[in-house]
Amino acid sequence: MILNPYRKLTYVLFVALAIFILLTFKQYGISNDEEVQHLYGQLLLKFYQSGFTDLSAFTYKNLYLYGGLFDLVAATLEKILPLWVWDIRHLLSAIFGFAGIVAVYKCTRELADERAAFLAVLLLSITGAWTGAMFTHTKDVSFGACMMWALYYTLLISKHLPRIPLLLSLKLGVAVGLALGLRIGGAFAVIYLLLLVLIAGLLRTNKLQEKLSFYWQSVLGLLPAGVVAFILMALCWPWAVMGLDHILIAAKSFSHFTFDMETILNGRYLKIGDVPNTYLMQYLGVRLPEVFLLGLFSVTAIFLFKIKRIDFSKQLPQLTVAIALLTPLLFVLFDRPALYNGVRHFTFILPVLAIVAGIGLSQVFQLLASYKKLRLGFTAFCLLFISTTAYTLYSLHPYEYIYYNQFAGNSFKKAIHDWEGDYWSSSLIEATTALEKYIDLEQQKTPNNPHVYSVAVCAEAFQGRAYLDKRFTVTEDWVVADFFISSTIMHCDKVLQGKVIASITRLDAPLAIVKDRRNLTGEDRRPHAPPRD
């Protein structure tokens, strides 16, 4: 069998991504949520190992409001694999990310052709908010991947309504159950499905009796999916089924959670509960690569041009994707949940956007088929954008997740000043190495120095403790700290004074600093509020 050339390119891209994951998964810094998340997974594992008697997982912070699928698997693998636990988590998260990209390919191929599918995969692969995040955003990317597979099976079901094959219903149940086993946001997958069935019934039937029959058959066909989804959710998130109101409590928390924290939006510091309803849209505008935005613009323009000629009753798969894209965006616009960290909490819409953008670019290529010079120019234009993005991601490694396009500022340094930069403080992996090298040079002059140095960390303490060797101890008493390591997010690096002995930079932008404070005295040793400029 002769493979389509675009399918070959897709397979080559898959192999390249797999190699990239295997070669680099140990290079990514620990994110500041990982310690508590992993402990939650360990407590869930104890719950099962104790025969359901150890309930400590359900009183640990607020983690019980989330499903534990990823953390439970990671805690299990920790006992099996001969790898550092944080490397296990990053590899596992990247596998989820890769699976999400595969689902994008399969979805796009169902909707369009191999060219569009390749372009969709390529666009998501050069999106730092996905491929850069897929090593450390363990909850967000794994959830996004499960949601993508749920969308794929929902799309397939749209072609069979109202008579849904049993196997397809069961597969959908697995995907939705795993999504719910990560966070209550998996309910979006259920909403997509219900809206699809509702719209399909309205479009494909005329009489009331026909509509009722259509809906009844659809419900019967989806019952196996519901049963499987509930079982998997209960296994991964047992707290959800321990009380009749627990799911509602989690849903309310997801929609209206807030605490004393700030975010940055185009140079403005805002409380997370005060962000405008355009917050997510603005961040998508600066976080997606330019060629990605071009694809979205293209598909929008083509859709508006053709809208009067579209028979929506024959476009249920396309409507499925539209529902999956518009529902969360409208939720943000009208419900106004507290948001921070840019697009992180809505990472699951990035694969859907990639599908749409890939189809948009493919359709432009098709429209320009009779205009060879224009098509060649458009191709060159896209390749230039792709090359620029790829170079930027290469320059940022291993912090690709903080990628911003040219709309974020006239330089990358300006972009991470006006928008959220290294919010996970992942760059501390290099900062700690720099501090160790600094002391190595000192100890070459005094080789028998047994001194243990105290280090203040403007992040989670374990992000320093995990990497620093026995010559260092992380202290909560910043006044007495010998050294200070910090990411530059929210100007946290300016909280403590000291001599800068190392700066972790990418594209001339400082991501983290290391300061020597041993010569400071008196008031100079005290912390100060960071500037807000």
pLDDT in tens, 254-303: 767 667 789 999 999 999 989 999 999 999 999 999 999 999 999 999 99
In the structure, what pLDDT confidence band is assigned to residue 529 with cuts at 50, 70 and 90? confident
Residue 447 has a pLDDT of 74
- For the entire predicted model, the pTM comes to 0.96
Mind listing the pLDDT tens digit for each residue in 205-218?
Answer: 999 999 999 999 99
What is the pLDDT averaged over residues 5-20? 97
For 381-402, give one letter per residue: b (16+ CB within 10 A) or e: ebeebbebbeebbeebebbbbb
Q: Report in angstroms the alpha-carbon separations of 389 from 288, 399, 414, 510.
A: 10, 14, 17, 20
Q: What is the pLDDT confidence band of residue 374, given thresholds at 50, 70 and 90?
A: very high
Task: Give the pLDDT confidence score for residue 314 in this predicted structure.
Answer: 87
**CA 356, CA 146: separation in Å to the nearest integer?**
18
Q: Are 498 and 521 in contact (CB under 8 A)?
A: no
Task: Report yes or no: 299 and 111 within 8 Å, Cβ to Cβ.
Answer: no
The answer to whether the CB of 506 falls within 8 A of the CB of 430 is no
pLDDT value at 105 more than 70: yes
- The set of residues, in sequence order, having a beta carbon less than 8 Å from that of 222 and lying 6+ positions away, is 157, 164, 169, 172, 193, 197
Burial pattern 361-377, b for ≥16 Cβ within 10 A else e, equals bbbbbeebeeeeeebee
Q: Is the dihedral of CA 313, 315, 321, 322 positive or negative?
A: negative
pLDDT score of 525: 95
Find the mean pLDDT for residues 176-180: 98
Q: Note the helical H segments in 397-496.
A: 412-418, 428-445, 461-465
Question: Rounded to whole angstroms, how far apart are CA atoms 261 and 274?
Answer: 10
Write phi, then psi, for 415 (nearest 5 degrees): -60, -45
Give whole-number Cα distances, 445 to 41, 345, 411, 439, 441, in Å.
Answer: 45, 49, 41, 10, 7
- Checking if the pLDDT of 81 tops 60, the result is yes
**Residue 455, strand partner residues:** 474, 483
Could you tell me the residue ranges of all domains in the chain? 5-250+263-396, 428-525
With beta carbons less than 8 A apart as the criterion, state whether 350 and 343 touch. Answer: yes
- pLDDT, residue 313, reads 83
Summarize the confidence of residues 365-369 as an average pLDDT.
Answer: 95
For residue 456, the model assigns a pLDDT of 97
Q: Tell me the C-alpha distance between 511 and 493, whole Å.
A: 9
For residue 169, pLDDT over 60 is answered with yes
CA distance 250 to 238: 13
pLDDT of residue 2: 65
Q: Tell me what pLDDT residue 275 has.
A: 92
- List, for residues 218-260, the tens digit of each pLDDT value: 999 999 999 999 999 999 999 999 999 999 998 888 767 667 7
Could you write out the DSSP letters of every residue in 16-78? HHHHHHHHHGGGSPPPTTHHHHHHHHHHHHHHHHTTS---GGGSSTTGGGS--HHHHHHHHHH
203, amino acid identity:
L
Q: Is the pLDDT of residue 77 over 70?
A: yes
Burial of 410 (0-12, 13-18, 19+ CB in 10 A): exposed
Rg (CA), the chain: 25
Instruction: Kindly state the tokens that stand for 413.
Output: 């340094």
- Dist. CA 45–CA 73, nearest whole Å: 9
CB atoms within 10 A of CB 427: 28
Share of the chain above pLDDT 70, in %: 99
Short-list 138, 223, 131, 142, CA closest to 179: 142
Residues 344-355: what's their mean pLDDT?
Answer: 97
Report whether 472 contacts 506 (CB < 8 A): no
Q: How many CB atoms lie within 10 A of CB 70?
A: 29
Is residue 450 predicted with pLDDT exceeding 80? no
Collapsed DSSP state (helix, strand, coil) of residue 263: strand
Distance in Å from the first CA to the final CA of the chain: 61
Whole-angstrom CA distances from 306 to 41, 301, 310, 312, 431 are: 50, 9, 7, 12, 54
Q: How confident is the model at residue 27 (pLDDT cuts 50, 70, 90)?
A: very high
User: Band of the pLDDT at 1, cuts 50, 70, 90?
Assistant: low
381-405: per-residue pLDDT in tens? 999 999 999 999 999 999 999 999 9
Query: Which of 175, 121, 112, 190 is CA-nearest to residue 144?
Result: 175
| pLDDT, position 258 | 65
On whether the CB atoms of residues 131 and 99 are closer than 8 A, the answer is: no
Neighbouring C-beta atoms of residue 335, cutoff 10 Å: 10
Q: Break the chain down into helix, strand, coil percent, rounded to 5.
A: 65, 5, 25
| Distance, CA of 184 to CA of 68 (rounded, Å) | 11
Question: Considering the chain, what percentage of its residues have pLDDT values greater than 90?
Answer: 90
- Angle 471-458-257 (CA atoms, 0-180°, nearest 5)? 135
Cα gap 10→289, rounded to integer Å: 19
Round the average pLDDT of the chain to a whole number and report it. 95
